[in-house]
Amino acid sequence: MPQAEHHVVSVTRDDVLPYHLVLLSEFQAQPLEELRQHLREWEVAATLRLHRIAIVSTDGASPL
């Protein structure tokens, strides 16, 4: 069975536009503790707050 190339996480709240985080499969293949560390180091939450959409790969996070 083929693997998905990415996974999209959406965060919604009433009266606020949604936030979308696109996690590429190469990023998801890392151990969980590394995922947590990279998400913090790369300030993914700040990218989401600023741009509403962020793409995360093994090279880092970037806005869409």
Q: Which two tokens stand for residue 51?
A: 């741009």
* Contacting residues for 57 by C-beta, under 8 A, at least 6 apart: 24, 26, 27
Distance CA 8, CA 20 (A): 7
> Quick one: pLDDT at residue 1?
43
Write out the chain's pLDDT in tens, 64 residues. Answer: 445 799 999 989 888 899 999 999 999 999 999 999 999 999 999 999 999 999 999 999 999 8
DSSP state string for 2-48: PPPSEEEEEEEETTEEEEEEEEEHHHHTS-HHHHHHHHHHTTHHHHH
Is pTM beyond 0.75 here? yes
Parse the chain into domains and list their residue ranges: 6-63
